[in-house]
Amino acid sequence: MRSHYWTCSKFADWIRGTTKLKAGTSEEWQEWEKRAKADYPVRWWLAEEGLDYIQKFVYYIPDQLDEVRYYINNRWISRSHSLTAHARDIKPGNWCDVGNRFLPCLFNELVDFVEVEQAWHHCCWSDEAKTKFAVPWWRKGWFRWRTWRCPEAGLEYLRWASNLTNEEFLEEGEKHLAEPTYQAKAAKEIIELYTWWTETYRNRPDPYDASGWTAYCEASRAANGGSLWGSLNADKSPELRKMSDESHTALRKIEEAYAKEEEQMMIRLIKIRESLWT
């Protein structure tokens, strides 16, 4: 993707005879295009079609090199053809069943979306943001790769997006009825899911510790001379049997609650998948 297009330049505005919109709704773009074509049909074609053909000819070799660069990036660096898990969640070389890969792979990709894609999207158009988040030189040049990571930049963009409303489309007397846009709702959901994975999920108590099962195992070993095998096969005292039953019941409830929470979060992530693009 080029960083600039001749059809969006001031020179194109001069040829076209009308100034191109910087931003607008789909209706505003349609109205501008209709008006610009009607005013100067030939000049419109020269600015919108002719300049584009010339730029494609001039940039043919750079565009081909860009294609190679993007292929290398997508194939071996960003690996945009696959879902991947962080080594913290699935250690390379270890076996992991398919069903157990879904959660870490999906949410690791969400983390990359926020910390890599949204971070760069927030900074790529703003010199102020580049300075604020200290974007490295190698991320700004021609050989830039999608490896720069900045959680703060990604979250700042999402917080901005989460405050967008349809106020600009309402009449003056209806501004108080403004509601969050679809983009704003999606941004809020992304922030919540990202926070759940990076904070809530990471800090959940270990179910074996929280249920008392770890404490039971230690008490059972101590009662049998520190032998794990002995603790598994020895007759339990009434106290240990009660401790075993209670901790096992608690362990099952905690694991079921965790599994239900994870399933709900994966469903929420799937529901906003169409908003995960830059």
Q: Give 134: exposed, middle or buried? Use CB within 10 Å, 0-12, 13-18, 19+.
A: exposed
Is 152 in contact with 133 (CB distance < 8 Å)?
yes
Q: Is 141's pLDDT higher than 80?
A: no
Torsions phi, psi for 114 (to 5 deg): -75, -50
Task: Name the token pair of 112.
Answer: 């990359």
Q: 176 pLDDT exceeds 90?
A: no
Q: How far is CA 142 from CA 57, 69, 81, 271, in A?
A: 20, 9, 22, 35
pLDDT at 255: 98
pLDDT at 143 over 60: no
172 pLDDT tier (thresholds 50, 70, 90):
confident
Strand residue runs (E) in the chain: none
d(CA 207, CA 257): 10
C-beta of residue 51 within 8 angstroms of C-beta of residue 76: no
Residue 171 three-state SS: coil
For residues 15 and 1, what is the distance between their CA atoms, to the nearest angstrom?
Answer: 24
Give the span between the Cα atoms of 105 and 111, in whole angstroms. Answer: 10
Residues 6 or more apart in contact with residue 175 via CB below 8 angstroms = 167
Split at pLDDT 50, 70, 90, the class of 77 is confident
Q: What is the pLDDT of residue 250?
A: 98
Is-contact 219 243, C-beta < 8 A?
yes
Residue range 123-144: average pLDDT? 83
Q: Is 125 exposed, middle or buried (0-12, 13-18, 19+ CB in 10 A)?
A: exposed
pLDDT at 230 over 60: no
Closest Cα to residue 154, out of 213, 211, 114? 114
Rounded CA separation 76/254 (Å): 40
What's the confidence (pLDDT) of residue 138? Answer: 76
Give mean pLDDT, residues 202-213.
Answer: 97
Which letter does DSSP use for residue 136 in this model?
A: -
d(CA 177, CA 180): 10
Per residue in 245-269, pLDDT (tens digit) is: 999 999 999 999 999 999 999 999 9
Q: pLDDT digits over 10-62, tens only?
A: 999 999 999 998 767 778 889 999 999 999 999 999 999 999 999 999 999 98
List the Cα angle 29/32/35 in 5-degree steps: 150
Q: Say what the pLDDT of residue 227 is.
A: 66
**Under a CB-based contact definition with an 8 Å cutoff, are residues 96 and 257 in contact?**
no
The per-residue pLDDT of the chain, averaged, comes to 89
Asked if residue 110 has pLDDT above 90, the reply is yes
